[in-house]
Chain A
Amino acid sequence: MKIEFLYWEECPSHTETLARLREVLKESELDPPVERIHVETDDQAVSLKFPGSPTIRIDGADLFPVPDEMVGLTCRVYYTPEGRVTPLPTKDMIRSALAAHRIKITKGG
């Protein structure tokens, strides 16, 4: 499993998001290395199809898929299951998305 963590320094929540991701991976008994990718320029954002900070990709797929046209150096909007806007996913959101990704892989999707 390849995990990439893409972030833009100007959005303040990336450190907390990375910590949450690592905690969830640890409790899932997964311990793959997390590659941190610092997105610094608009050109880099376009080339990486970066939809905002922070973004987590598992095996190249966004853990929280968004439309392809959303690209840029910005802070990313997440929605909690209760519908609240938040700048970073909760641990529960990361946990659920990871579980869904693993089911998809198991089914060969």
Chain B
Amino acid sequence: MVLALESKLLAFSLPGTDGNTYSPDQYRQARALGVVFTCNHCPYAKAWEDRLIQLQRDFGKSGVQLLLISSNDPAKIPDDSFENMKRRSKEKAYPFPYLFDESQEVARAYGATRTPEIFLFDADRVLRYHGAPDDNFEDPAAVTQHYARDAIEALIAGRRPEPTDTKPVGCTIKWK
């Protein structure tokens, strides 16, 4: 079952593609923290990738941190191996950690099912938005609802995001 809105953040510690280990605790000062399940291979994840990068670039200075996690089984999708995650994060110069959830325990704990799927927490690490980045994976120029961007702006302004929950659209997480 997916993590319910207003739940507290679930802690984790995962290896990143840069060789470091990351946990949300390292970002205690962040005014908003996004846990984003994604992957290398999925066309939906690829289509939204640049927009996630832009979100981090636009809001990093405002104290917003995204943590991207791939939980896919590389035995099923070789493109999602840790080595290929390292390659991808370098190629795209990711401005956020890209973490490998090899055991898939984090994805299961959050109840994530799709890539990409965003869980956005406020400064108290309460879940305030869950779902898709926006309403158009095909064409960034045709987006009419900037769900994640609007939710981040709301949290920075001390407001509750609206909407709080949208349907994640993307590839299914590839379970072992």
Known: A10-B172, A74-B171, A75-B171. A88 touches B44 (CB 8 A): no
Q: Kindly name the residue among B46, B138, B169 whose own CB sees the greatest number of chain A CB atoms within 10 A.
A: B138
Docked pose: A87 CA to B137 CA in angstroms: 8
A56 smallest CB distance to B (angstroms): 15
Listed from nearest, the 6 A-B pairs whose CB atoms lie closest are A87-B43, A85-B46, A77-B43, A75-B171, A10-B172, A85-B47
Docked pose: A53 CA to B118 CA in angstroms: 23
Decide: A88 and B138 in contact? CB cutoff 8 A. yes
One digit per residue, 1 when the CB lies within 8 angstroms of any chain B CB and 0 when it does not, for chain A 63-82 equals 00000000010111110000
One digit per residue, 1 when the CB lies within 8 angstroms of any chain A CB and 0 when it does not, for chain B 40-65 equals 01111011000000000000000000
**Does B139 have its Cβ within 8 Å of any Cβ on chain A?**
yes
SS class of chain A's interface: helix, strand, loop or mixed? loop
**Does B109 have its Cβ within 8 Å of any Cβ on chain A?**
no
One digit per residue, 1 when the CB lies within 8 angstroms of any chain A CB and 0 when it does not, for chain B 7-29 equals 00000000000000000000000
**Does A104 have its Cβ within 8 Å of any Cβ on chain B?**
no
**Does A3 have its Cβ within 8 Å of any Cβ on chain B?**
no
Decide: B171 and A84 in contact? CB cutoff 8 A. no
Q: Spell out B's residues near A (CB within 8 Å).
A: 41-44, 46-47, 77, 137-139, 169-172
Known: A84-B139, A87-B137. A10 touches B171 (CB 8 A): yes
Q: Spell out A's residues near B (CB within 8 Å).
A: 10-12, 72, 74-78, 84-88, 90
Q: A11-B171, A84-B139 are in contact. List 6 more A-B contacts (CB 8 A).
A: A75-B43, A85-B47, A86-B43, A86-B137, A87-B44, A88-B138
Known: A10-B171, A10-B172, A12-B169. A78 touches B139 (CB 8 A): no
Q: Name the CB-closest residue of B to A52.
A: B43
